[in-house]
């Protein structure tokens, strides 16, 4: 698999690892790891999972089934409300600072105000 070999080598180089480093991390020899990058051998499923963990990417990315390194995780809160991990973290931070409680005192009015303020900020500072 050409794309696997290319991505494996690119990720190793991006992380400043030598083949011997990867061999140690995977409990195999450096030459055995080198065979993966050369396409002379393929890792077991367990080794593939370990490689994905080391580089913090999905196995789909390693295998060329996806061009996105990480599969986005979404949380379904209600029928029409699905949040990404980042969006959920923002809400957690807003809750920790009592911000949500303050907005909840008059949600209709306060949410509209927040939207207007955000539009102003985006336009004023040309945010994308």
**Do the Cβ atoms of 42 and 1 come closer than 8 Å?**
yes
Whole domain around residue 83: which residue ranges? 74-125
**Do the Cβ atoms of 103 and 113 come closer than 8 Å?**
no
Residues 53 and 81 in one domain: no
Does residue 110 fall inside a structural domain?
yes
Q: Is the pLDDT of residue 126 over 80?
A: no
d(CA 64, CA 39): 14
Does residue 14 fall inside a structural domain?
yes
Does residue 55 fall inside a structural domain?
yes
Mean of the per-residue pLDDT values of the chain: 90
72 falls in which pLDDT band (50, 70, 90)?
confident
Domain count, the chain: 2
User: pTM of the prediction?
Assistant: 0.60
In this prediction, residue 70 carries a pLDDT of 83
Does residue 68 fall inside a structural domain?
no
């Amino acid at each position: 698999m050409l794309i696997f070999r290319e991505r494996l080598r690119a990720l190793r180089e991006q992380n400043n690892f030598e083949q011997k480093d990867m061999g140690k991390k995977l409990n195999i020899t450096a030459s055995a790891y080198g065979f993966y990058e050369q396409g002379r051998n393929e890792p077991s499923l367990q080794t593939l999972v370990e490689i994905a963990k080391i580089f913090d990417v999905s196995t789909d990315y390693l295998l060329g089934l996806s061009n996105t390194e990480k599969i986005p995780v979404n949380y379904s809160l209600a029928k029409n409300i699905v949040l990404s991990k980042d969006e959920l973290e923002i809400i957690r931070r807003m809750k920790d600072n009592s911000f949500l409680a303050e907005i909840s005192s008059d949600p209709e009015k306060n949410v509209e105000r927040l939207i207007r303020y955000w539009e102003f900020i985006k336009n004023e500072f040309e945010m994308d």
